[in-house]
Amino acid sequence: MTIGVRHDLAYSLLLFAPILLYASMGADPLYSGFWYLLGVPVAALVPGLILRAPALFLTGTTAAAIASLLVYMKVMLSHARPEGLLVLGHLFSMPGMLVGAGVAAWLLKYRVKARLPWIVAGVGFLGAALGFLLAQMILCSTMMHCGVLSF
């Protein structure tokens, strides 16, 4: 069975369904609102959809977006006095994730000929995660203090 774009989108939706369920119960550890928890995984899909990346690329980028949200949620929930504006570090690092996912999709489409779907998902995850981490390092060490996430 070959995996197509429809299957890839379905897997991506399955990945962020638990986050949406958690947010729909009224829990918002990021103090950002339901729209942000919905918008981050959806925004991570955009570069792969625009560049028509291979199968499971969207799942990889969605997993990276959810992993970044989970790290921020863990940091917020572990503090006795949570910092309400910590989510701004995540918000301003999202363009780095989108650029990283776009570069990874472009590499997979035009330069690297990876055909195994799980390698494609790994490249999507690494591209999005490295773009996010690079933007996070630049942002949190120069322009704003991101609490425990500052370098």
pLDDT, position 22: 80
* Closest to 128 measured CA to CA, from 106, 99, 150: 99
Question: Would the pTM count as exceeding 0.85?
Answer: yes
Please list, in sequence order, all residues whose beta carbon lies within 8 angstroms of the beta carbon of residue 42, skipping any fewer than 6 positions away.
Answer: none
Domain ranges of the chain: 5-149
Q: What pLDDT, on the 0 to 100 scale, is given for residue 67? A: 94
Closest to 48 measured CA to CA, from 93, 1, 9:
9
Give the model confidence (pLDDT) of 105-138 as tens digits: 999 888 888 778 888 999 999 999 999 999 999 9
Q: Whole-number mean pLDDT of the chain?
A: 86
User: Is pLDDT above 90 for 9?
Assistant: no
Across the range 39-67, mean pLDDT stands at 91
Comparing CA positions, the residue from 122, 127, 128 lying closest to residue 55 is 122
Note the pLDDT tens digit of each residue in 76-105.
888 777 666 788 888 999 999 999 999 999
